[in-house]
Structure 1
């Protein structure tokens, strides 16, 4: 490909990633209007399915996408993922019932699972083996993804206030069609001469394990008690399916997620760090906005604007890190500093109370974004640099898989911690009742909720500190520092 084609290809990839992340987060801001429009009587009770169905489908498809990239070539898989996502978007916008919308969100999720992960593979192939260690493409991709996560609720709130909710799906079409056409005309990516066999049994086991685990995190403590037969049964099924998946990967001729990847210290450490970062990001994005709404009484759209300092921090530090490229002391140093900086920001967030100055909160979120901006994307660069060329797809989607599972487990973990702490310190009742309380009872509830959120942020800070320690152990042999040489 010519330099001009490569530059256009990078722009296409960044637009695709922004589209994927915005769509995943934008729906959370308009779930109530959707439920009231499609099912006034029972729609609100089905909102969790509206959110979780997309995540279930996207996560279940991730391991298969990696193998398909290594077998069929990244361009074909990329075009298929974008096409599936756009078809799902059209159908979601045209849905006339909650049942239809939930089903179409699953189809959209199947495509959405490939938008982020396959795009990272395309970026790596656009750069070529000798350039993958520089971090410029994937580093910018990581900051675009982080900024999209922070801006998604803002865009959703604006559309909810000034347009019909169906436009959150229809708005994908012009951008998505432009991406599809440009990718088809511009991309010229390498294809391996050997045709790989697809481990469909392994893909099915991975999908079943992911679905069972995500259902445990979505339903546990909300729809069903943690000790209920439903949750215990799903947890047992998840463990059994994980064992069967690992057995299949150890015995299959061409496994979906080769266990040999975990023998490389750089790869297994990168997977672990990405999972921990996924847990922490889930906590910051969800519970900061919840704190602002329930404790400070700020409207949803206005509360989402507090994510802008975090997005600015991600963009600024991500751009600096990606432009430094190989001139930085090392990508490992960037990841260690980034996770450490994010851990400090989370610890500061844990000290906020009902009367904390909101500008101090914005400064803490800016610091958090600066930390994440040095980490997002760089982890993917490190993993891609350490992976063998013929396993680039499975290694890249593996990073995304662990981040998604980490985020889901984090939601369950933090939700349980918050509920337990609030029950011990609050005036009784659910946290959703706080806005209706008055006088001393509301003051006590706000203080208890602040304490509960503070414990959540302290847990996130501890996990990020652990991530920094693990990042310091990332190898510098076959991974960072020596490129894609012999293994």
Structure 2
């Protein structure tokens, strides 16, 4: 039975609910960043800061694992049900995070929250596309909106998180999601009426499970290697072998599955291969730079969490501004590849400048470097997805877009863990012999030595991030020029729906 048509007021309410969900998703990816130190100090004063990478990675990893499944679930049971389910899981995880009594519990509940969070963006875009289609409107420029929404979320998320950590309780970082999420659920349930374009297709659960197991093993190697276990230990070597085996099994599954979550045929196209690699490197550098600039400001410069989060506003301004400018230039004929090369070059320079930050560096200079970083990343967010969409065959447009975002979220999870390893190793070599968690409790000479060691460690973190972006710059320069969008081919309803999800 076809759903009843939506009235203009119902459509407006549903649209507002979708926009609130998108903002909620972007905010929650960043809101924890500014409060990592207060959270660690409260739940685990001894080792809490050292476990921050897992607190960040748990959400990203869970979202990464869930992401490829959401498009297929929309085909099987309909976008509205999947949307409501994703929001409900996200809210359950938020409530449990607020009630967590240990870092272990918080990390586990953050992963549950990430499973729902993986659908907040992707499924919401399916709903938005269907709302626009029902209203007879075309979608907006994804690259421009990507930069604007990401910039707004990156600015507001840490600011809200820092303010709650400084003036209320860090648990409200998670509880604040509940009233907004409940309002979204009620509004969507009452006003959202979407066509049920469902198709009986298999869901590649084994492929998703193999991808999750591979990513988890790889993260354990980067987290435990050299700290909890020696690199040559049986545990690390075993995990490395397990990761290699799981990757091989995943690739075999994708080559043989009737409905793979990552068709290997996409990897045979040089531009698509390049866009996937670039998205992975972008996720790695972007997440690591945000987390560790906030840690640097709080631990090395003594800046309160709220004040530290304000340093992301210049970055947000840069991202939003360049998103609008690049949209205008694109309409005048500038190619997507041009923005990718320019963006990677600008981000590389900004991260290299951040690597020179010391205990006496002008804070206005750091704000300028964050603005420059925003100008770089703002040219990449959305543009890399557009690059994949311009290149992919029409019948694989949806899976190409989903794959691009999959690589970005996987890069985000791995980047946080890898940079955390760099920070811990360098600090151990140059600090007073304790962990970074002890810096706030030290006094006198020991504190001075600890801060010096931490600044040296952040130097290598940003230098590593600059190296990641330099590699991205090399890949972007080597990208072959696009011959233009692939001519349209017969497209199944499934491809159209998934394309709407991520485009």
Query: Which residue does the alignment assign to 1:251?
Result: 256
Counterpart-to-counterpart distance in 2, 1:335 and 1:15: 29
Decide whether aligned partners of structure 1 residues 142 and 60 sit closer, same or farther in structure 2, where only a CA change above 3 A counts.
Answer: same
Change (3 A) 1:336 1:47: closer
Query: Is residue 240 of structure 2 the alignment partner of residue 232 of structure 1?
Result: no
CA-atom RMSD, angstroms? 3.7
Q: Give runs of aligned pairs for residues 268-347 of structure 1, distance below 5 A.
A: 268-322=273-327, 324-347=329-352
Distance in 2 separating the partners of 1:419 and 1:229 = 22
> Quick one: structure 1 residues 377 and 415, their matched pair in 2 at CA, closer, same or farther if it must change by over 3 Å?
same
1:283-310 Cα deviation digits (max 9, x unpaired): 3112212222332222333222222211
Deviations 1:208-235 (A, max 9, x none): 2222223333433444443433333222
1:188 deviates by 6.5
Residue in 1 that maps onto 2:363: 358
Counterpart position of 1:482: 485
Compute the displacement of 1:382 (Å): 2.5
TM-score (norm 1): 0.84
Are the aligned partners of 1:133 and 1:326 in contact in 2 as well (CA < 8 Å)? no
Q: 3-state DSSP class of the match of 1:306?
A: helix
**Secondary structure of 1:351's partner?**
coil
| Alignment map for 1:368-383 (pairs within 5 Å) | 368-383=373-388
Shift of 1:132: 12
SS in 2 for 1:375: coil
Say which of 173, 177, 180 aligns to 2:178. 173
Per the TM alignment, residue 133 of structure 1 is displaced from its structure 2 partner at its CA by 11
- Cα 1:250–1:22 shift into 2, 3 Å: same
Q: Report deviation, 1:40.
A: 8.9
Number of residue pairs aligned between Structure 1 and Structure 2: 483
Contact 1:59 1:210 in 2 (8 A): no
Bigger shift: residues 150-159 or 30-39: 30-39
Q: Measured at CA, do residues 123 and 381 of structure 1 come closer, stay the same or move farther in structure 2, by a change above 3 Å?
A: farther
Change in 2 beyond 3 A, CA 1:461/1:105: closer
Say yes or no: does 1:396 pair with 2:401: yes
In structure 2, stretches of 5+ residues that fail to align are 491-503
Write the deviation string for residues 93-123 of structure 1: whole angstroms up to 9, x where unpaired.
4557777655543332211111133344555
Task: Write the distance in 1 (CA, Å) between the matches of 2:361 and 2:44.
Answer: 39
Residue 365 of structure 1, CA deviation:
0.6
The 8 Å contact of residues 222 and 421 in structure 2, kept in 1 or not, is answered as: no
Deviations for 1:269-326, whole angstroms, at most 9, x for unmatched residues? 2111111111111231122122223322223332222222112212222233345553
Q: Specify the alignment match of 2:416 in structure 1.
A: 411
Q: Does 1:266 align with 2:266?
A: no
Cα shift readout 1:402-457 (whole Å, capped 9, x = no counterpart): 11221232233323333444455555443444455566665555444434322322
Task: Give the conservation status (yes or no) of the 8 Å contact 2:63–2:409.
Answer: no
State the distance in 2 between where 1:35 and 1:448 align.
Answer: 20
Residue of structure 2 in register with 1:465 after alignment: 470
- Counterpart in 1 of 2:91? 86
State yes or no: 1:148 paired with 2:137.
Answer: no
